[in-house]
Chains A and B, each alone.
Chain A
Amino acid sequence: MADTVAGLVGSFRHVDSLLEAIEQLRAAGYRELQALSPVPHHAVDEALEKPVSPVRYFTLAGCLLGCLTGFTLTIATSLYYPLITGGKPIVSIPPFLIIVFELTILFGGLLTLGGMLLNARLPMVGVGPAYHPRFSEDQFGLWVRCADKDYETVTSLLKNAGAEEILRAGQETAL
């Protein structure tokens, strides 16, 4: 338990310092990094080399599910209640396509949100051990997961890159 939470969090005022720190730490072999920032940065994502988000598959699945639901709902229920209205066929595809379209978008949207929440591990109860409110304001954080014995090395690497403050993860989980 203690191992998974352990690590150091460096806070930076500038994005290029953060990027430098990421580069150096990765070069030194510390790959379990997580950056915290008030805004997303393309450069940070690239430096961390994390995989592309799979949310798109949730969207696709949602759309297909919605499409299928739309057709099933309209066609099956119309056949079950075969009332002729306006002289139109019982299974009249043009109006049904509109229902199908709306449900495609609805389910696509709902599953996209679900995909995001699932992948981002939201909602969380409370916040993680590396978080500090200033990471939502104007500073950037870098959480390096490492064992106790590496603390010296990591601290010096972070300081070289320009970290302003270095804390142990778990301290200052403030709100």
Chain B
Amino acid sequence: MEQEREKSWASLPQVSPRWRRNLGALLGFGVIFFLALRLDPLRGWQAYLINFLFWGGMAQGAVVFAAIYHVVGGKWGPSVRRCGEGMVAFLPVSFALFLPLYFTLDRFLAPARDLNPARGAWFDPRFIFVRGGLGLGLMTVLSLFLVYYSVRLEVGWAQERKLRPRRWLYEWITDGWQGEEVESQRCQRGMDVLAAGVLLAYSVTYTFMAFDLIMSLDPFWYSSLFGGYYFISTFYLGLAGLAVACVLVQGRLGPSAVTPSQLSDLGRLLLGFDLTYVAMIWSQYVVIWYGNLPEETQFIILRVWTMPWAIFSWSVLALSVFIPFVIFLSQQAKRVPKMVFAVGVLIASGLWLERYVLIVPSLWHSDSIPLGWVEIGVTAGFFGAFGLSYLFFLGRFPVVPFAPSGAQSAALEIKGAGKSAVEA
């Protein structure tokens, strides 16, 4: 175990300058495109909102995975957990990217509010901005602290053995280090509390993000499950992103970093959440279809049964639900890195289109379809920012983490039976 840890520190991927350059270029591309969009602000801001929700959601979903892994005392994939934790690096960036939305919320929400003025002060764009900001800020802080405790153990252990040269980041993280024994307890306790906190805050924050930033764009539509649907969808997105990241990490660091059986387990989780995701969609669809109330059905009909938006909705189902389901029915497929990568990309693409088809039809009222260089450019920019943040983390913290995660060992033994049967 010690050797493995040392090895993981030794093999911290040197982020190749080529990657940095390319991602930086994407980022720059995005910024330029966005600025050029003063010609068509609605389109630019639309793409911005979609991407903000997509990439921020993916990062948060991955961190939520790490939190759940800790709460249930998982042991099957510590390196997978660390890959998930790594996406926390994008969360502060995502929060910063939320702030410019202040300038556009009025543009998005005013038409709906004019059509349905009964909603009152709760829907004042400034109020929405403030509560969105508070929620996201809280999520960012809680997530950062969760990963802080996880990483502190790691860095402290390495510093004790002088495995890495000192850097200000490591110094700051291990400030007040009191030795392995004490810190181990303290960090576990910290993670216990914060993991639970992250999960509780996540469900509330993302419910309201969905209600405020997506559902309110339509003047009349509402669905009580929409918040729950959205945070499940975001978690699913996080898992997909995590799968892609794990395959890339495995490609770089070898199969000992992320084993085929860990990939297989991740594949099973993806299959399970594929079904959960479609259940969330279905629960809304069947109730709205059956009740046949116009204020509810107009939202769905516009997106599912009217061109051109129908193409997008059905693509979402194909990419995020049907194709991954069929592929992952096979046990073998879940162990093959290329397949897992492909499925992860498919799911993520589908979920991008999902955000698109939820938001755009409420805002875009002309005949053309707003999908072109603008959207590609802004997406590229966000991707660049996301990639750079993630690489920042992976370049500084090793993938095989310190201790078996989980507050208490969840493996219960029959009293008196001793250790679990791992021999032979």
Residues on A close to B: CB < 8 A? 15-16, 19, 43, 86-88, 94-95, 98
If A94-B285, A94-B286 touch, whether A43 touches B424 (CB-CB below 8 Å) is yes
A94/B424 in contact, CB under 8 A: no
Answer whether residue B290 sits at the interface, using C-beta atoms and an 8 A cutoff.
yes
Chain A residue contacts of B286, Cβ below 8 A = 94-95, 98
A87/B289 in contact, CB under 8 A: no
Chain A residue contacts of B424, Cβ below 8 A = 15-16, 19, 43
Answer whether residue B261 sits at the interface, using C-beta atoms and an 8 A cutoff.
no
If A19-B424, A43-B424 touch, whether A94 touches B290 (CB-CB below 8 Å) is yes
Q: How far, in Å, is B290 (CB) from chain A's closest CB? A: 7
Answer whether residue B116 sits at the interface, using C-beta atoms and an 8 A cutoff.
no
If A15-B424, A43-B424 touch, whether A94 touches B292 (CB-CB below 8 Å) is no
Separation of A98 and B282 alpha carbons in the complex (Å): 10
- What are 14 A-to-B residue pairs whose CB atoms are below 8 Å? A15-B424, A16-B424, A19-B424, A43-B424, A86-B290, A87-B292, A88-B290, A94-B285, A94-B286, A94-B289, A94-B290, A95-B286, A95-B290, A98-B286
With A94-B285, A94-B289, A94-B290 given, name 11 new contacts (CB 8 A).
Answer: A15-B424, A16-B424, A19-B424, A43-B424, A86-B290, A87-B292, A88-B290, A94-B286, A95-B286, A95-B290, A98-B286
Chain A residue contacts of B289, Cβ below 8 A = 94
Chain B residue contacts of A19, Cβ below 8 A = 424
Contact with A along B252-292 (1 / 0, CB 8 A): 00000000000000000000000000000000011001101
Chain A residue contacts of B285, Cβ below 8 A = 94
Separation of A95 and B286 alpha carbons in the complex (Å): 8
Closest to B329 in A: A60
Separation of A103 and B424 alpha carbons in the complex (Å): 43
Closest to A98 in B: B286
Q: How far, in Å, is B351 (CB) from chain A's closest CB? A: 23
Separation of A43 and B290 alpha carbons in the complex (Å): 53
Residues on B close to A: CB < 8 A? 285-286, 289-290, 292, 424
Closest to A56 in B: B331
Chain A residue contacts of B290, Cβ below 8 A = 86, 88, 94-95
Separation of A19 and B424 alpha carbons in the complex (Å): 10
Closest 3 interchain pairs by CB?
A: A43-B424, A94-B289, A94-B286
Q: How far, in Å, is B283 (CB) from chain A's closest CB? A: 11
Chain B residue contacts of A43, Cβ below 8 A = 424
Q: How far, in Å, is B296 (CB) from chain A's closest CB? A: 14
Q: How far, in Å, is B12 (CB) from chain A's closest CB? A: 36
Closest to A43 in B: B424
Separation of A98 and B424 alpha carbons in the complex (Å): 47
Chain B residue contacts of A94, Cβ below 8 A = 285-286, 289-290
Closest to B285 in A: A94
Chain B residue contacts of A16, Cβ below 8 A = 424
Q: How far, in Å, is A22 (CB) from chain B's closest CB? A: 12
Q: How far, in Å, is A31 (CB) from chain B's closest CB? A: 22
Separation of A15 and B423 alpha carbons in the complex (Å): 11
Separation of A87 and B291 alpha carbons in the complex (Å): 11
Closest to B286 in A: A94
Separation of A15 and B421 alpha carbons in the complex (Å): 12
Closest to A16 in B: B424
Separation of A93 and B363 alpha carbons in the complex (Å): 30
Separation of A16 and B423 alpha carbons in the complex (Å): 10
Q: How far, in Å, is B357 (CB) from chain A's closest CB? A: 19
Q: How far, in Å, is A13 (CB) from chain B's closest CB? A: 15
Separation of A86 and B286 alpha carbons in the complex (Å): 14
Separation of A95 and B287 alpha carbons in the complex (Å): 10
Separation of A87 and B424 alpha carbons in the complex (Å): 65
Q: How far, in Å, is A140 (CB) from chain B's closest CB? A: 13
Chain B residue contacts of A87, Cβ below 8 A = 292
Residue among B285, B286, B424 with the most chain A CB within 10 A? B424
Closest to A44 in B: B424
Residue among A19, A88, A94 with the most chain B CB within 10 A? A94
Separation of A114 and B69 alpha carbons in the complex (Å): 37
Q: How far, in Å, is B383 (CB) from chain A's closest CB? A: 36
Q: How far, in Å, is B169 (CB) from chain A's closest CB? A: 44
Separation of A71 and B286 alpha carbons in the complex (Å): 17
Chain B residue contacts of A98, Cβ below 8 A = 286
Q: How far, in Å, is A42 (CB) from chain B's closest CB? A: 9
Separation of A94 and B289 alpha carbons in the complex (Å): 8
Closest to B424 in A: A43
Q: How far, in Å, is B293 (CB) from chain A's closest CB? A: 12
Q: How far, in Å, is A59 (CB) from chain B's closest CB? A: 10
Q: How far, in Å, is B60 (CB) from chain A's closest CB? A: 31
Separation of A25 and B292 alpha carbons in the complex (Å): 71
Q: How far, in Å, is A149 (CB) from chain B's closest CB? A: 34
Closest to A63 in B: B329
Chain B residue contacts of A95, Cβ below 8 A = 286, 290
Q: How far, in Å, is A48 (CB) from chain B's closest CB? A: 14
Closest to B288 in A: A94
Q: How far, in Å, is B420 (CB) from chain A's closest CB? A: 13
Separation of A72 and B203 alpha carbons in the complex (Å): 41
Q: How far, in Å, is A98 (CB) from chain B's closest CB? A: 8
Q: How far, in Å, is B216 (CB) from chain A's closest CB? A: 27
Closest to A101 in B: B282
Q: How far, in Å, is A123 (CB) from chain B's closest CB? A: 29
Separation of A94 and B284 alpha carbons in the complex (Å): 12
Separation of A95 and B424 alpha carbons in the complex (Å): 52
